Amino acid sequence: MCEKKAEEAVSLEVHQRILSRNDETARHNREHFDRLGTIAVNLMGSPGSGKTALLEATARRGNRRVAALAGDLETDRDAQRLAAAGIPSLPITTGSACHLDAGMVHRALHDLPLEGIRLLAIENVGNLVCPAVYDLGQHASVVALSVTEGEDKPLKYPVMFRTADLVVITKVDLLPHLDVDVRAIRNNLARVMPRPRAIEVSSRTGEGIDQWMQWLDELCEAATAPLQEARA
Amino acid sequence: MHEYAIVAELVRQVESEARRAGAAAVTRVTVAIGDLSGVERGLLATAYDVFRGRTVCETAELSLRAVPAVWSCPGCARDVAPGAVLSCPDCVVPARLRQGDEIVLERIEMEVA
């Protein structure tokens, strides 16, 4: 019974998502949002694609009870810009990490009260690849794509656009100065997004911001949970 | 470049499974990485080699299984040609990604005492 056996080779089938721990934390975040009646949007895009400007333009449209988390490798400049625009904001400084993960958002939520907040914009690190890999617990994913980035970005970075619920084509006021055709951008989006949806905006002139606000309103209306009011 | 973060999670999972199985040594881990997963296989292999020292994976070869992206129609099951618009021309419904977004630890080969 106690004879010594030789080591035995064993093959163990696991089939588990490597990011299962992030998925678990994301689920936890989503439950937190749902409990409070807050809709979370993961706003992604290249550095300089106009993510912060889009949120500033959102704030200029009045009281929509918006708060924001702003991810950046260094500095809290985006969070400062958003706070100056009237959006309660917290920075998430990632150091060398090229993306936000669900744990970073979870930790930040301890310091950002969401009672009375209808929309939480999570401005991801400027990067067209890595942020798409990590679920943060958001209800919708939005990619900001500026017309200055050219027509072929969707084909070059399909992963980010595949999971997007909406693409906001930004800086359209610059189109007269560029050899860029928005129809070509839309055509390329249809090859990487199964439900291609895009709106064209200029945060500077306000063009298209109505459509963006309407999309946000529809997103919030689709949510079933009532908004939990701020405690007095 | 998030491949180091992926490897850190991979090693953590292998450690947990190997401990539970009472492994004396892990000899191979097989990971499936889809073409639309957002993970670059070459970078993942490099990150694995840098990271595995002094972990349970030190003795383990990494086998990467590439999974091509396949979009197909949820109605008629026909595949969408690569590079085409992601909609079925017959059923006029959005295509669905059938495979290609995997970031999955599939198998651990180990020696058990």
DSSP string, A102-153: HHHHHHHHTTS--TT-SEEEEE--SBSSGGGG---S-SEEEEEEEGGG-S-H
Residue, of A232 and B93, whose pLDDT is higher: B93
Split at pLDDT 50, 70, 90, the class of A3 is low
Tokens of B101: 């977004």
Do residues B38 and B97 make contact, with C-beta atoms less than 8 angstroms apart? no
Residue, of A228 and B31, whose pLDDT is higher: B31
Of A30-44, A103-117, A146-160, A214-228, the range with the lowest mean pLDDT is: A214-228
CA distance A179 to B13: 49
Residues of chain B neighbouring A159 (CB-CB closer than 8 A): 36-38
For the segment A142-154, the average pLDDT, to the nearest whole number, is 97
Split at pLDDT 50, 70, 90, the class of A232 is very low
Q: Collapsing DSSP states into helix, strand and coil, what is residue A232?
A: coil
CA distance A223 to A38: 9
> Is the pLDDT at B1 greater than 90, yes or no?
no
**pLDDT value of residue A23:** 97
**pLDDT value of residue A230:** 55
Among A7, A17, A41, A18, which residue's Cα sits nearest to residue A136?
Answer: A41
Task: Calculate ∠ Cα A133-A163-A154, nearest 5°.
Answer: 100
**Considering chain A, what percentage of its residues have pLDDT values greater than 90?**
83
> Is the pLDDT at A231 greater than 90, yes or no?
no
Q: SS3 letters for A79-93? A: HHHHHHCCCCEEEEE
Digit-coded pLDDT (tens) for A81-112? 999 999 999 999 888 788 999 999 999 999 99
**pLDDT value of residue A228:** 63
> Is the pLDDT at A226 greater than 70, yes or no?
no
Nearest to B107 among A12, A101, A160 (CB): A12
For the segment B71-99, the average pLDDT, to the nearest whole number, is 95
Of A15-19, A81-85, B9-13, the range with the lowest mean pLDDT is: A81-85
Q: Is A133 on the interface with B (CB under 8 A)?
A: yes
Q: Taking CB atoms and an 8 Å limit, are B71 and A101 in contact across chains?
A: no
B residues 13-52 closer than 8 Å to A (CB): 13, 17, 21, 23-25, 27, 31, 36-39
Q: Taking CB atoms and an 8 Å limit, are B21 and A12 in contact across chains?
A: yes
Nearest to A190 among B86, B104, B113 (CB): B86
**pLDDT value of residue B5:** 92
Tokens of A71: 């991810």
For the segment B43-54, the average pLDDT, to the nearest whole number, is 96
Cα B74 to the center of its chain, rounded Å: 24
Do residues B9 and B97 make contact, with C-beta atoms less than 8 angstroms apart? no
Nearest chain B residue (CA) to A12: B108
**pLDDT value of residue B56:** 96
Among A75, A127, A134, which residue's Cα sits nearest to residue A103?
Answer: A134
Among A166, A207, A164, A175, which residue's Cα sits nearest to residue A57?
Answer: A207
Write the DSSP symbol of residue A166. E
Report ipTM (2 d.p.).
Answer: 0.92
Tokens of B33: 């990485």
For the segment B89-97, the average pLDDT, to the nearest whole number, is 94
Cα distances from A87 to residues A14, A57, A61, A109, A119, in angstroms, run 44, 11, 12, 15, 11
Tokens of A43: 């706003």
For the segment A8-18, the average pLDDT, to the nearest whole number, is 96
Do residues B49 and B40 make contact, with C-beta atoms less than 8 angstroms apart? no
CA distance B49 to B52: 6
Residues of chain A neighbouring B36 (CB-CB closer than 8 A): 158-159, 162
Among B102, B1, B113, which residue's Cα sits nearest to residue A14?
Answer: B102
Digit-coded pLDDT (tens) for A18-67? 999 999 999 999 999 999 999 999 999 999 999 999 999 999 987 669 99
CA distance A5 to A91: 57
**pLDDT value of residue A4:** 55
**DSSP output for B43-99:** HHHHHHHHH-TTSGGGG-EEEEEEE--EEE-TTT-PBPPTTS-SB-TTT--B-EEEE
Among A136, A104, A108, which residue's Cα sits nearest to residue A39?
Answer: A136
